[in-house]
Structures are given as C-alpha cells and as structure tokens.
Amino acid sequence: MLPILLVLLILSTLLWLPWQTQRMESSERQEQLIADTLWVEQAIRFQLGRDEENLRLIANEITAGTLSANRLRERLTALIKNNREFVRVAQLDASGKAVLSTDDEPVTLERLSPPSRNAAEHARQSKSPQYSMPAPPSGQRGPMLLDYHVPLLMGDSYAGSLVATFSVSSILNEMVPWWFAQDNEIAITDHDDAVIEKRTAGGPGRGVYTHQRMLDLPGATLTLRTNSVKGAPKLLPSLLVASVIALSLGLLWSLWALWRDINRRLAAEGALRRQVAFRTAMENSLMTGLRARDLEGRITYVNPAFCEMVGIPAEDLIGKRPPMAYWAPEAMNEYQQRFTQVLAGTVTPQYETVFQRANGERFPVLIFESPLVDDSGRQTGWMGSILDISDRKKAEDLSRRQQEQLQASARLATMGELASTLAHELNQPLAAISSYTTGALNMIVNRGGGIDLDMLKPALEKAGAQAQRAGQIIRSVHTFVKRREPRREPVTVQDWIDSVIPLVELQARQFFVATHIQLEPGLPEVLADRVMLEQVLLNLTRNAIEAMQHVAPERRILRIVAELDSEASTQQNVAISVIDRGHGIPEDVAQRLFSPFFSTKAEGMGMGLNICRTAVEFHGGTMVHMDNPGGGTIFRFTLPILAENVADSATTGESQSESG
Ligand code: ADP
C-alpha cells in the first residue's frame, strides 16, 4: 500500500502545483491591476487638481480686476493649448450671458446641457466651484463633455462664472499613461454604472481582472473602471500536462508490473521453500545414505543417514577429497582404483565394498552411482546412494546356515528311513564275508597241513571285496550325512549319478522297482556341490519310488535321463529328468508342491521338494514337473554347464546308453 499512497501523493502534488501557481499568478495580476488603477486615479486627480487650481487663479484675477480682456483671452488660450483635456473655457456674466469664450461659439447658460445648467446653479448657490455630470452638448449626440463651473465672486455677490469644458475621452486619453491603456480597458461610468466614455487601446477587457475607483469630483460622482485585457492564466501548456499524466500512468503501470512481479516471485519462492522443506524431510527420513561428489571427487553433499552410517559429522566430510575418513586401510587399493575411474569420468554403476565407521568397525555396503546433471544438461558430478548391507549379509548368512542345517537334517531323516534297508544291505556282504571266511576256515581245518592255496585265495579275495563293499556303503552314508559347507567343484554328470545309484537302488529294490539310467554320452562337466546334487536326486527318486508303491508291478519302472538341454538358447544346460509311472500329481497338490511342510504322506516331512528346488536354484538351474504322457510324473531340473565345456558339448553325439 505504501508505494501506492506515495504515488497518489506525488500525483496530487503534481496536479496541485500548477493550480496553485495559477492562483498565485492570478492574485498577483489582480494586485498589480489594483495598484495601477490607484496610480491612474491619482494621476487623473492630480491633473484635474492642477487644472482647477489654474482656473481658480484666473477667476481670482478676474474678480480682482487685474486682467484686461485680451490678457484673459491669452491666458485662457494658453491654458487650453497646454492642457489638451480642455475643450474650451468661457466666461459668463451673472445672468448667464456669454462674456468671452476660447472658441468662436458664444457660450450662454441656455446653450449648456441640462446637467451643466444644474451644476451652474449649484455653483452659484454654494459659491464654490462645481462639476457637472458629463453630457453631450445640448441638442447634439457628440462627445461627452464635463463642465467645471467656477463662480466669480465680487465680495459676497455672484458676478458670473468661468465655465471650463473637459472632454471625458480627452481626460482618458491624456491623463492615462499609454502602457496602462495598452493592457487595460479604462472606462468612466456614472452612478448608475452606465459607461460615459471608455478607452480600449489594447482591445476589450476580458472581465477577469477588474477594479474600480470612485472619482469624487465636487458635484459629480464618477467611477473609474479598469478591466484587464489579459485572461486568466492558462493552467499549464497542455503538452506539459499530457506528459505529467503520461508519466504518472507509466509510473502506475510500472508499479503494477512490479507488484505483479513481486507477487510471482513470492509465489515461486514459497513453492521453492516448500520443495526444499519437502526434500530435506525426505532426505532426512531416508535410511539410505546419500553422497554427492563433484567431478574431482570432492564431497559436495551427504545426508544424515550417511553421516550416521559412517559415524562422521557432515562438516567433517563436505569439501573433503580422497582418501576419505571412512575408507578402511586394508581396502585402500580398491578405493584408489575406483577413484581413478571417477576422475576419468566413469564409474561402476553398482558395487559392493567395505566402509569403516569412526570407531574402526567395518561394515559391508552396496553402492549405486549415477551422474549428477545440472539444468543445462552438463554433468557436475556423481550421486551415490549407499546401503548398509551388514544386516542383510547377516540375514543371508543365517538363512544359509539354516538351509544347511535343514538339508543335513533332511539327509539324516532319509538315512533314518533307509536304516532298515541299509542293515539289510550290509547284512549281505557281512553274511558273504562270514560264509567265505567260514569256508576258508573249514578248508584250513579239514585239509590240515595241505592247504590248497588256489582254492583259498579266491575265497579270501571275495571276502575282502565284500568287506570293501560294506565299507563303501558305510562311507557313502557317512559322506552323505556329514554336515559341511557347500563347495562347488567341477563334477561330471556320470560320476555324480553313479555315486548315488547304490542308494537309489537300495530303495528301489525294497519296493520292487526297476531302475533305468539313460545318460547321453560325453556330457560336459557342471560346477556343483556333489553332495547337494546327490541329495536332490535321492529325494526325487525316493518320491518317484513311493508314488509307484501301489501300481501294478510291471509298471514300476523308474527312469533317470541326463541329456544336453536343447530348449535353452542362451545358456547351455544339462537337464536331468526323473520319470516315474506312479499315481501322478493332482492339480490341487501341484499348486502347493514346493511349499515347505506340504506332504500327502502320513510320515512325510514335506521338505524334500523344497530342498531340491533351493539346491537347484543355488546352482543357477531351474526345476519343473510335468505329467508323464504314459502315466505318472516327470521331475526335470537343469544345471548350467562349465563355460569351457560349451564348445566341446556341441559336438556330442546323440547316442544313448542304458544302465541299471
Ligand atoms: P514328502 O515326500 O516328505 O511328502 P516332498 O516335498 O518330497 O515331501 O513331496 C511333497 C509331496 O509331493 C508329496 O507328499 C507327494 O504328494 C507329492 N509328490 C512328490 N513327488 C511325487 C511324484 N513323483 N509323484 C506323485 N506325487 C509326488
């Protein structure tokens, strides 16, 4: 409001000033006119006074009788010659008859105008000089004349008079200075304001500046009126006014524009402030650390989460160049290498590394880098978001350990299930060993000294082989059950399947299931943890055998097929299928197949398939199941082959071998 008030004040001052100037000028002119009019009045009075004086002197001389008629005529002629306001001067006797006149026409009382006769009468009675009201000569329309009657007194008796006739216009012409007449209309009016005579040398008066003065002459009351030919002063030249108005309008417009601009700026500032507050709140609430660096690697910004993560206040980080306070000394080389990359203008978009907290504690972090770009599209640095993944690592570790434990337990459970079969299986070699050794003993006892070594040797050899077999069974059980860290190594498919077959067959035999193994020759190696894969195969075959428990004995065939995966186009895989001809999997069971603890069996733990899938995925493969067209189910899983084997495997033939 203040600027608007100021502008209004300036505007009103601008408009008031010319008006005030005009008023001042106007009153100045008026005062000037009054002063001039006064001056003119004084001049007229002064001149008339001198004329009256002259006439009185002459009158005195006449009454004193010191003037001859000729002398009088000369005096009077000289008087009217020198004072041009006089028209003539005449002498009348007491009866009003002409005695003498300065012009040729004899002047008598009767021939005077009526007002003049009144004045003559008045002068005679009052015995003092009198003026008459101006009037034209009697019987004429001619110029207005003013008569001055000076009574001639012999002692106390009236002896005639001197009559001086003034022309009113001559009074105006002779007694008013020209410069005044040039600027004003001067008029003489009677007591009814009727104009008797006027002088308009400079043109008619405008009626703006006027003044009047009474000319109190004895016997005649006249008014001197002046009326300036000047009009009221013009307000101001219109150009000036127009420019003042234009300037004011311009000023108002620019004020308005300024006001609008300020409002816009305020709105923008408000929006910006809200944005900044919003962003700050967002940055402060983030759990992720943020760190911005310029192109020289100097830190330009860190958020509170980052400071908390590394335990260093922001002011100790901002503006710092590497080496940073949160770099762990042992990983210095790695950091330096990355920093060289930053200077070269490239970064690894995502990487894991280790940072050091202020208390020396190390913690793993996952870093995502992206370029910082300014509004002109120029890159000004790098923005990194840093995730403290120590919790995640711990969780992963825990889950891995639990998984291992679970697998170990599952293996123990499998072994528990196999225990009776195992006992039975071990019984055979042990029984064989027993009979071989009994046979050998009998031979020694019966034959006495003559032992047939040729007969004894094979028996002992067979006993040894059986003992070895029993030992192998025990060992395979031991390696299978032992808890250990997963370890991946190159494994040939053949080796791995061969090593698990004895255990598979143990189960198969129990349920009278025939086993067919079908391996594509020359299968490449896979990078795998052997025991995990054995467990997978063992679980799948056990499920398959169990599914065939109640089908006709001739249908109880378990097939294990290993081949190169022909479907996968990008990656070469080995695919292993476990095919049974059991009861199959209904839709509702299929949906929950891999859920932990889901089982349709009375003693089932429901972990088998879940463990299998986790193990296959750990190796980078996938596991699916489908219906067997001939009845039953196919479980098929893939394992990626070792990269260096890809070329070799391409040349592998299609021939198949069967074992069982
Ligand atoms: P468990 O064998 O302890 O029940 P699994 O996870 O190995 O646990 O199997 C879950 C369920 O999947 C089984 O209970 C069974 O119903 C079904 N299943 C698994 N394999 C087969 C198969 N080859 N044929 C039919 N059903 C199967």
34 φ/ψ angles, rounded to the nearest 5 degrees: -60, -45
pTM of the entire predicted model: 0.43
Please give the single-letter amino acid code of residue 616. V
Residues of the chain with pLDDT > 70, as a percent, come to 94
Q: What is the DSSP string of 122-133?
A: HHHHHTS-EEPP
Cβ 545 under 6 angstroms from ligand 1: no
614 touches ligand 1 (CB under 6 Å):
no
If one residue of 414, 543, 587, 610 were mutated to test the ligand 1 pocket, choosing by the most ligand atoms within 8 A of its CB, it would be 543
CB of 421 closer than 8 Å to CB of 506? yes
Whole-number Å distance between alpha carbons of 197 and 190: 10
- Over the stretch 12-55, which tens digit does the pLDDT of each residue have? 887 788 788 888 988 999 999 999 999 999 999 999 999 999 99
Which structure tokens are listed for 275? Answer: 């944005």
Ligand 1 atom 8, closest CA = 606
Strands 362-373 and 210-217: unpaired
Q: Is the dihedral of CA 441, 447, 448, 454 positive or negative?
A: negative
Tell me which residue has its CA closest to atom 19 in ligand 1: 543
Residue type, 14: L
Position 7 scores a pLDDT of: 79
Tens digit of each residue's pLDDT (9 = 90 or more) over 166-216: 999 999 998 898 999 999 999 999 988 899 999 988 888 888 899 999 988
Residue 89 main-chain phi, psi, to 5 deg:
-130, 130
**From the candidate CATH numbers 2.40.30.10, 3.20.20.70, 1.20.1260.10, 3.30.565.10, the one assigned to the domain spanning 489-652:** 3.30.565.10
> From CA 54, how far away is CA 46, in angstroms rounded?
12
User: Using omega within 30 degrees of 0 as the cis cutoff, is the peptide bond preceding 323 cis?
Assistant: yes
**Phi, then psi, of 623 in degrees rounded to 5:** -130, 130
Distance CA 249, CA 589 (A): 88
Tell which atom from ligand 1 comes closest to the C-alpha of 578: 23
Closest-lying ligand 1 atom to the alpha carbon of residue 544: 23
Determine if ligand 1 sits within 6 Å of the CB of residue 628.
no
Query: How many Cβ atoms sit within 10 Å of the Cβ of residue 29?
Result: 17
* Any ligand 1 atom below 6 A from CB of 599: yes
Q: For position 610, what pLDDT does the model report?
A: 86
CA 494 to ligand 1 centroid distance, Å: 26
Tokens read off for 4: 């608007």
What's the burial of 518, exposed, middle or buried (CB within 10 Å: 0-12/13-18/19+)? middle
Pocket of ligand 1 contains residue 626 by CB under 6 Å: no
- The enclosing H or E element of 421 equals helix 390-447
Pocket flag, ligand 1, residue 600 (CB < 6 Å): yes
How many angstroms is it from 419 CA to the middle of ligand 1? 21
Amino acid in position 18: P
**Quick one: 26-228 is in which CATH superfamily?**
PAS domain (3.30.450.20)
Q: What does DSSP say about strands 514-519 and 557-564: parallel, antiparallel, or unpaired?
A: parallel
Q: Give residue 517 CA to ligand 1 midpoint distance, Å.
A: 21
Residue from 551, 599, 616, 633 whose mutation best tests the ligand 1 pocket (most atoms within 8 A of CB): 599
What is residue 587's predicted lDDT score, i.e. its pLDDT? 92
Q: Looking at the domain covering 395-481, what would its CATH class be?
A: mainly alpha
CA distances in angstroms from 602 to 27, 541, 605, listed in the order given: 128, 18, 9
> DSSP assignment, residue 177?
-
Chain-centre distance of CA 371, in angstroms? 23
Rounded CA separation 635/556 (Å): 16
Task: Quote the ligand 1 centre to 590 CA distance (angstroms).
Answer: 9
The CB density around residue 59, as the number of other CB atoms within 10 Å, is 19
Is residue 585 in contact with ligand 1, taking CB distance under 6 Å? yes
SS3 at position 660 = coil
Q: Is 580 in the pocket of ligand 1 (CB under 6 A)?
A: yes
| Topology annotation, domain 287-388 | Beta-Lactamase (3.30.450)
Segment (H or E) for 363: strand 362-373
**pLDDT at position 280:** 87
Closest among 594, 499, 569 to 538, alpha carbons compared? 499
Q: Which of 592, 597, 609, 611 to mutate to test the pocket of ligand 1 (most atoms within 8 A of CB)?
A: 609
Distance, CA 542 to ligand 1 centroid (Å)? 9
Closest CA to 115 of 139, 87, 84, 147: 147
Handedness of CA 634, 637, 638, 639 (dihedral sign): negative
Taking the C-alpha atoms of residue 496 and residue 529, their distance in angstroms, rounded to an integer, is 10
Query: From the first residue on, what is the mean pLDDT of each consecutive set of 10 residues in the chain (660 residues)?
Result: 82 81 88 93 93 92 87 90 91 89 85 90 92 87 90 88 92 90 92 90 88 90 91 71 82 89 96 93 86 90 91 92 87 86 82 89 90 89 89 84 80 73 76 85 74 78 85 76 74 88 84 92 88 88 92 92 76 90 93 87 83 88 93 94 56 36
